[in-house]
Amino acid sequence: MTVRSLTEFNLKDIEYNYKLINERISNACQKVGKSREEVIFLSAVKTVPCEIINHAISLGLKYIGENKVQELLQKYDEYDLKNAELQFIGHLQTNKVKQIIDKVTLIQSVDSIKLAGEISKRAEELNKCIDVLIEVNAAGEQSKWGVDTERLYEFIDEARQFKGISIKGLMTIPPICENQDENRKYFSKIYKMFIDIQSKKMDNVNIHILSMGMSDDYAAAIEEGATMVRIGSALFGKRVYY
């Protein structure tokens, strides 16, 4: 477990970063004729202690995302969830679904039918239907989680049969590229699939969230069609660990 010490953070820096990121998001929206409200700024808060996360929430941050179940459970009682939504953004093992199902508003990382089925089952036990995104492996990398693009349509067609989940969109983490512009081709590829799936109007598929873009490439992602960006280090500073 690697929650960083409070002394590693400077509140003034976070305030500055928060403003700057919002400005850059607005600029990217403007550049492509989107309104600012069409893009959600979610912060990836791994390794960040709750005191610091809650400070960001006090500045106006509305969405936070954790990528490890253990860390989420450890921090859960301290998040200011009156003023922000908690989502799950990392790889999720099926045997851990029950530990977070009642704690998050959206699971961004559905990457197998088995996981979709387990989330649905646990949600139904609570008489709920939980919102999910399908994680897509944009470049077909062996090392990455996510559904291959060639299988995406078939996958969605299968996953939409589960009554306890509602498919709200796609999420992707493209390869680490030398420059932002290289990632644009993956962003635009996933955007095209997103639009195509939307146009098919399948039952139990109401796709309107496209989660892509992180600290180094969120402006490019918005320009290529992202409706949600997940930003960690640009807000809270560089991590030494994962």
Ligand X SMILES: *Cc1c(COP(=O)(O)O)cnc(C)c1O
- Closest separation in Å from C-beta 229 to ligand X: 9
- Closest separation in Å from C-beta 115 to ligand X: 15
Where helices occur in the chain by DSSP H, the ranges are 11-31, 50-59, 69-75, 97-100, 113-125, 152-159, 180-200, 218-223, 233-236
In the complex with ligand X, which residue's Cβ is closer, 52 or 89? 89
Q: Please, which residues bridge with residue 133 across strands?
A: 169
Amino acid at residue number 175: P
How far is the C-alpha of 212 from the C-alpha of 229, rounded, in Å?
A: 5
Instruction: Count the Cβ atoms, other than its own, within 10 Å of residue 91.
Output: 15
In the complex with ligand X, which residue's Cβ is closer, 132 or 214? 214
In the complex with ligand X, which residue's Cβ is closer, 124 or 216? 216
- Closest separation in Å from C-beta 118 to ligand X: 20
- Burial class from Cβ neighbours inside 10 Å (0-12, 13-18, 19+) for residue 160 reads middle
Residues within the interface to ligand X (CB under 6 A)? 44, 46, 67, 89-90, 173, 214-215, 230-234
In the complex with ligand X, which residue's Cβ is closer, 55 or 153? 55
Residue nearest to ligand X (CB): 232
Q: How far apart, in Å, are the Cα atoms of 181 and each of 78, 176, 191, 223?
A: 38, 11, 15, 11
Reported as type and span, the H/E element at residue 40 is: strand 40-44
In the complex with ligand X, which residue's Cβ is closer, 124 or 182? 182
Instruction: Count the Cβ atoms, other than its own, within 10 Å of residue 76.
Output: 16
- Closest separation in Å from C-beta 45 to ligand X: 9
Measured N-to-C along each axis, helices 50-59 and 11-31 cross at an angle, to the nearest 10 degrees, of: 50
Amino acid at residue number 98: K
- Closest separation in Å from C-beta 193 to ligand X: 19
In the complex with ligand X, which residue's Cβ is closer, 90 or 117? 90
- Closest separation in Å from C-beta 67 to ligand X: 4
